[in-house]
Amino acid sequence: MPKAILFDLDGTITDSGVGIIKSAAYALEYYGLPVPDARTMRAFVGPPLRDTFLKFGVPAESCDEAVEKYREHYIPIGIYENFPYPGIENLLANLKEQGCKLYIATSKPEWMAVDVLTRFHLEGYFDIIAGATMDGTRDTKSDVIAYLLAQTGSISNAVMGGDTAFDVIGAAAHNIPCIGVSWGYGTVAEMQKAGALSIAETVPELLNMLAE
């Protein structure tokens, strides 16, 4: 069977932090909540937004509204404050040449993921782009991977690449090992604690690990 490789999007394929952080700050300011420094705000990149807004002081009953405020800024502006990491397209092209099946599994709403990848002419590398729903009914990494597997059937010889512990944990829920990448928005320590198979420090190193 060809190797199946699942990729996270934000912080793994593209550096989307600027747009996400500015949009999250826009929502926090709406509630009169303090906006921490940029490093602390990196927590918004990757996990479901509702969960993160709760951690930053938005009342539970207002988290859905906070996501809507976030999108007021993100959809017209923030989504485009984004770019692929250097070397990523070469990595994808190499893996496709080797016959790998490539998939996206992201907590970003699916149409946004398709829009971002299409903007950078990367969508054609992926057999399926699986993402979250706008209403939050599918937003965790485990939910998204389950949705992806429902479309593909069982995937054997699979591995995931992601930048946070959420990727490691979500993949493990489906018995898929995860290679962490150090250039994203999680921490190496958190990914290792969650059980990452290994950590790639550079894009070429990730390619070598995935091709093994």
Q: CA angle 161-185-73, nearest 5°?
A: 115
Residues in the chain: 212
Which residues fall within 8 angstroms of residue 2, CB to CB, at 6 or more apart?
99, 100, 101, 157
Q: How far apart are the first and last CA of the chain?
A: 14
Q: Which residues are catalytic?
A: 8
Q: Where are the beta strands (DSSP E) in the chain?
A: 4-7, 14-15, 83-84, 101-109, 128-132, 158-162, 178-181, 198-200
Which residue, chain included where needed, has tokens 């993921």? 113
